[in-house]
Amino acid sequence: MIDAHHHLWDLGARRQDWLDGPEMAPVRRTFTAADYHAVAGVDRSVLVQVLADVSETRDFLAVAAADPVIAGVVGWVDLRKPDVADVLATLPGLVGVRHLVQGEADPRWLTRADVRRGLRAVARAGLSYDLLTLPHQLPAAIETARDLPELSFVLDHLSKPPIASGDLEPWATHLRELAALPNVTAKLSGLVTEAGPGWTTAGLRPYAEVALEAFGPDRLMFGSDWPVCLLAASYAQVREAAEELVAGLSPAERDAVFGGTAQRVYRLG
């Protein structure tokens, strides 16, 4: 069992401005590796960046080095800087890079020349790139993944579909177009948060089915998105929902979603 997407943060170590809103009160506290192990019960996991701060990435690598469960870190580097390759060389143990593209005002941020140069450096370093996008940013993600076939892209949270409204389009069409590219995989993660506190597994199912059809189980991986998921559901509820959503798959296909895909894509050994 591999959880391909979770976070940690320490409010005493660095400020988390994104937690300031009243809606974030349930998760406005420090979450440690010990807190994660108390709820997760997985064999291995992938710890994913929270802040656009390379010092956080260094701290996460230190946590992972001391923790037999945390098998990989998806960190942050400034893709726009010309020294991306040099910075990556100082981060041994990194398995991937992520930027908070969802927060960029430019929907075509991924197509910028400096960003593309940085992404090529990520590919040369043998790392993956996690796509954190919103649905309206998917066209730029499609173009970028098509233009950089040498880079392995991982789509986080299925690009945050509008589950709360029940709309499928144009998200579903864009997702299928992205999934047609062989260098892209995706995480079955973050869906309960997009659905909101009143979520149901039935409400998540249409979105999971589009993803399963588009990517197939060999290119999908489970991620809890803990502790962000606590805004809508407990860790156990997220895992149970994911298990229910893939219950119709064969045992081998379920094994891929809950471990094999993450192990292969992130090269977890």
Report the C-alpha gap between 175 and 248 in whole angstroms.
21
Rounded distance between C-alpha atoms, residue 215 and residue 158, angstroms = 11
Sheet order of strands, 220-222 included? 2-6, 44-48, 70-75, 94-99, 128-131, 152-155, 184-188, 220-222
Cβ neighbours for 193, distance < 8 A, ≥ 6 positions apart: 157, 225, 228, 229, 231, 232
Q: Hey, what amino acid is at 34?
A: A
Distance in angstroms (rounded) separating the CA atoms of residues 149 and 142: 11
pLDDT at residue 269 in the model:
75
pLDDT computed for residue 86 by the predictor: 97
pLDDT at position 214 is: 98
pTM, entire model? 0.96
Q: And the tokens for 102?
A: 């969802």
**CA 141 – CA 159 distance, rounded (Å):** 10
Identify the CA nearest to 137 among candidates 105, 106, 107: 107
Task: Please report, for residues 39, 46, 210, 249, 250, the alpha-carbon distance to residue 72 in angstroms, rounded to integers and kept in the order given.
Answer: 19, 5, 28, 27, 27
Per-residue pLDDT of the chain (269 residues; tens, 9 = 90+): 999 999 999 999 999 999 999 999 999 999 999 999 999 999 999 999 999 999 999 999 999 999 999 999 999 999 999 999 999 999 999 999 999 999 999 999 999 999 999 999 999 999 999 999 999 999 999 999 999 999 999 999 999 999 999 999 999 999 999 999 999 999 999 999 999 989 999 999 999 999 999 999 999 999 999 999 999 999 999 999 999 999 999 999 999 999 999 999 999 97
Residues comprising the chain, all counted: 269
